[in-house]
Amino acid sequence: MATETEIVEEETHGEPEHSIEETIEEPGEESVEEPVEEEPKEETRSALPGDLIGTSEEFIPRDGAYLDGGNIYAAASGIVNINKKERSISVTPVTNMPPHLQVGDIVIGQVTDVKDSVALVEIAGIKGKGEREIVNAEQAAIHVSNVKDAYVKELYYEFAPFDIVKARVLDLRNMRLSTVNKELGVMKAYCGNCRAVLKVDNNKLKCPKCERTETRKLSSDYGTGII
Ligand SMILES: [Zn+2]
């Protein structure tokens, strides 16, 4: 019964009302619309010397860019300019790009490996010079003699892979780092058992999850987030 009444209602409402008036096209309107022309846009991104920024099939290399074997590379640190109209690519040098390391710089890095006499560190940034701006990670090493003033029995007691460390650059030739200083050393460490972030507990590190204790050459800024 209910379905029958619904059908009847639909039929009565189906009459068109003002549809004819609304669909009338005004003949003059089409010519008013301007043809949509794409403006040549210029994209920007940053590059370091040697970065692949394009190919010769795409662009003509201009200032700050060079062609090598069909690829176009940045010749300078700076902003990549793509001129679509001209199909050219160039690099405008920027002076505040990632600086080069200098002896005495304090760097932040991650321990990648610990051997008998050295801990290997991948440098991620330089303190006070834009920690997050360094693109090319550099490999460095902390020798067992440069860990702390006190005698180091086992380097494995001082560093572990994945540790975040703060260290001073000793020399650039061999990329030696030192953590001999109160505020230098491990800034953040992970539990070797469950990977949780370790907390300082009486000059040792304790895992809040599995209660495991570990030792490190700790920075006085451990766990503070201060770099
Ligand atoms: Zn744990």
| Pairing label, strands 164-171, 138-143 | unpaired
The per-residue pLDDT for 32 is: 53
pLDDT in 10s for each residue of the chain, 227 residues: 444 444 444 444 444 455 444 545 555 445 555 555 555 555 568 887 778 999 999 999 998 898 988 999 988 778 899 999 999 999 887 654 445 778 898 988 899 999 999 999 988 777 776 544 454 557 899 999 999 999 999 999 999 999 999 999 998 888 899 999 999 999 999 999 999 999 998 888 999 999 999 999 999 999 887 76
Calculate how far, in angstroms, residue 178's C-alpha sits from the geometric centre of ligand 1.
Answer: 28
pLDDT of residue 227: 66
20 alpha carbon – ligand 1 mean position (Å)? 75
For residue 135, the model assigns a pLDDT of 42
Q: How far is the CA of 196 from the centre of ligand 1 (A)?
A: 5
Phi, psi (5° rounding) for residue 165?
-120, 155
Distance from C-alpha of 133 to C-alpha of 115, rounded to nearest angstrom: 29
> Hey, how many other C-beta atoms are within 10 angstroms of the C-beta on 47?
23
pLDDT at 9: 47
Residue 46, amino acid:
S
pLDDT value at residue 38: 53
| Residue 220 alpha carbon to ligand 1 centre in Å | 22
pLDDT, residue 35, reads 55
What pLDDT, on the 0 to 100 scale, is given for residue 99?
A: 57
Candidates 87, 39, 44, 41; CA nearest to 62 is 87
The full set of domains in the chain, from first to last, is 44-93 (2.40.50.100), 106-214 (2.40.50.140)
* pLDDT for res 101: 78
Residues with CB under 5 A from ligand 1 (ion): 191, 193-194, 196, 207, 209-210, 212
Structure tokens at 196: 């949780």
